[in-house]
Amino acid sequence: MTCLRLYRTHLALLVTLSICAAASLGDLWLIKGYLSPTQQYDFEVYFTASSEIAQHLDAHLYDESGNGLNPQLRDADPSGTMAHVARQQGIQQIKLYLYPPLLADLLQPVARLKLPDALLLWRSLNIGFLILASLSIAALLRKTWWTLPSLIVFSGLLCFSPIWQALHYGQITLLLLFLWATGILAYAKGWTKTSAVLLGIASLLKLTPLLAVVPLLIWRDWRWLRSFGLTLAIGLGAMVFINSPHVVMFYAQHVVPPMSSGIGDRQNQTVLSVLQVISSGRHPHLGKLAPTSIAWTGHILSGLLVAIAVFLTVLRQKNLSTSSKPIILAAFALLSLCVSPVSWVDAFAIGYILIALQWNHSFVQKTSIVQLLLLTASTAALGGSLAIKHIHKLDSFLFAQYLPLFFAIYLVFFTLLPSSISPTEHPHPCS
């Protein structure tokens, strides 16, 4: 890479960060109260579920989520157990709890606090997860902590609008970002067991990280797979012991299947969501399952994307260096969001790992203008995704509504192409 190309890349990165920062600041202005810890509505759901377990009401954790209807975005029945426990905590309206029991189990110490204290603690923990994730990503890029490059990594996270939505709603996204980033870093450093445990915990909290198994199976990393499987077994055993086998089986058999029908909404950036919007309009049909044909078509297309990703990963296997494996894991992390039935915009904060690795690659390898423009557009689409919903003129353009999804898919497959990353990378003398 010539010095001119390097400066061009610096300029593109500056422009991209400016676009994402403007989108995030615009959204903070449009949605008042973003930094208020009292509006973490998703955390209130976790808190209530954890309170149910504390009151030995585990058997009622999924009473309404497992009634055969799509549980996405549904309020709990005011006469039900969850709504009753929520009112005890001062929460008048609550959504249904849809995560595995382990998340509610882990929050038991927090559930013993009063709600205002719990909200403040959860916001503080999320900020901590964000900082730790930033340090892990900087280390993954081989940047020394507390230097300008590592500060740019953290600044990029702050410009990434999904981060703000995750903070606002009190989602577990930042915990998952930390687990993904640190798990990939551990794998890059050869800490196989640590990597497997971290990604195993992520999979126990939310099912989508299970896709991380795919490249490890292709690489036949049996040591990692054994540790990952053991982590899952211990986690499942803990849930069975704490919550009872009935609760775990009920979740797997009666909650997960209706959730897999997804929901058609532009804030849900998945392949299945696109098909639902095409077939039934732009507004989600709460409590209704998608038509079987649409659901199956979405799952088949998602499976096809995974199959192509597997094929490309197999093609790269022969000439694959150890240093190239982390970026493939990051690509599968982003792919897991695209093929999941439901991935709200805040979940795409995890895509920052792949974006950071791609920008780092653009500084140390020759990158064409077209590739640089596409990387800029991809970063802006994912980083400014939260602002898209405020641009009402885009309502009639399906592609515009799902820009984050389409650019995420592009990033994944560009990364997995055999020629996209050289086995060895050497910094340019101008850097």
Q: Is the pTM of this model over 0.75?
A: yes
Task: Find the mean pLDDT for residues 358-377.
Answer: 80
Task: Determine the average pLDDT of the residues in 61-88.
Answer: 85
Q: What is the DSSP string of 204-223?
A: HHSSGGGGGHHHHHHTT-HH
Backbone torsions φ then ψ of 235, nearest 5 degrees: -65, -45
Average pLDDT along the chain: 83
- pLDDT (average), residues 6-29: 56
In angstroms, the CA 126 to CA 161 distance is 15
pLDDT in tens, 122-160: 999 999 999 999 999 999 988 877 777 788 888 888 888
d(CA 205, CA 211): 14
Is it the case that residue 330 has pLDDT exceeding 50? Answer: yes
| Confidence at residue 400, expressed as pLDDT on a 0 to 100 scale | 66
Residue 308 CB-density burial (10 A; 0-12 exposed, 13-18 middle, 19+ buried)? middle
pLDDT confidence of residue 429: 39
What pLDDT, on the 0 to 100 scale, is given for residue 15?
Answer: 58
Asked whether residue 411 carries a pLDDT value surpassing 60, the answer given is yes
Instruction: State the alpha helices, DSSP H only, in 244-351.
Output: 245-250, 256-259, 271-280, 292-316, 325-339
pLDDT value of residue 378: 86
Instruction: Note the maximum CA span of the chain.
Output: 68
